[in-house]
Structure 1
Amino acid sequence: MEKITRYATPADARPFPPFSMAVAHGNTLYVSGLAPLDTAGNIAAGDFAAQFAQVIANLKLVLADAGTDMTRILKVNVLLTRAGDVAEMNRLYRAAFPAEALPARTTSVVVALPVPEFLLEIECVAAVG
């Protein structure tokens, strides 16, 4: 039976709803939807670009905690609350993900996320080990 490892929020972070930030099973890491919050629970101030940057910073932290990185991401789901942010998201995404290791991706525009101020959320599946 393959080992399952659960990754919680960072020790210094504000408590989050009841879920694991990521769960590894075998050589696969499933990362929960990450929001534009810093470890103190503050929403990234400013525009879509600031929120995107915070989500990517959070993603890098979760991946590093699990012993992997952006080049090992297999699949990404991007949830946006505004269709008008798709072009900006593509521009920022291209800069955030290594060109030689672009993962498969789905982008959806949703009616709302759990916190009305969130403009996006990103979840992914990555290889570990």
Structure 2
Amino acid sequence: MTREIINSSRVTPMRSAVNHAVKSGGFVFVTGVTPFRGAERMTATIDKGDLVAQIHQVMKNMQAILEEAGTSLDRAVKMNIALTDMSRYAEFDATFRTYFAEGNFPARQTTESARLAHPDFLVSIDCIAEA
């Protein structure tokens, strides 16, 4: 089975020992995507306190990573969402659903995480998609 490392030049580089995604076995496994905006780590920005803006940025980053891997959101089969405040689930869901055709939603689990990798992150999403 071949394994291909995927990193998108349109997404902020990871600072930890992790890549944006790995393509293997007919699937693309995307690391938890964050709401950083910008392709340079030192100048990347975050929409602090704005959940909807952060969701849009995460999904934009996700699309860039999936495109780099030769696939797209419409081929997503499973996503795991980490929210720092589950009381904002309805707000999250209303924004998230705009990225998919009605009825073509991926399987999904949403959990509350008191603390994400950066103190200003409100959301992080990982994904498994068909290659």
TM above 0.5, yes or no, is yes
1:88 paired to 2:87: no
Name structure 2 gaps, 5 residues minimum: none
Matched residue, 2:71: 68
Cα 1:90–1:11, aligned 2, differ >3 Å: closer, same or farther? closer
What amino acid maps onto 1:102 in structure 2? Answer: F
Q: Distance between the aligned counterparts of 1:32 and 1:96, measured in 2?
A: 19
Give the one of 55, 59, 82 matched to 1:52: 55
Consecutive unaligned residues of structure 1, counting only runs of 5 or more, are none
TM-score where L is the length of structure 2: 0.89
Percent of pairs identical after alignment?
Answer: 30
Q: 1:12 to 1:87 in 2, by over 3 A?
A: closer
The CA distance in 2 between the partners of 1:32 and 1:12, in whole Å, is: 12
Amino acid at match of 2:114: V
Distance 1:78 1:47 in 2: 16
TM-score norm. by structure 1 comes to 0.90
- Residues 110 and 6 of structure 1: is their aligned pair in 2 closer, same or farther, counting only changes over 3 Å? same
Is the Cα–Cα contact under 8 Å of residues 9 and 20 in structure 1 kept in the other structure?
Answer: no
What is the Cα-based RMSD across aligned positions, in Å? Answer: 1.7
What displacement does 1:77 show?
A: 0.4
Distance across 2 between alignment mates of 1:78 and 1:11: 22
- Matched residue of 2:70: which SS? coil
How many correspondences in the alignment? 127
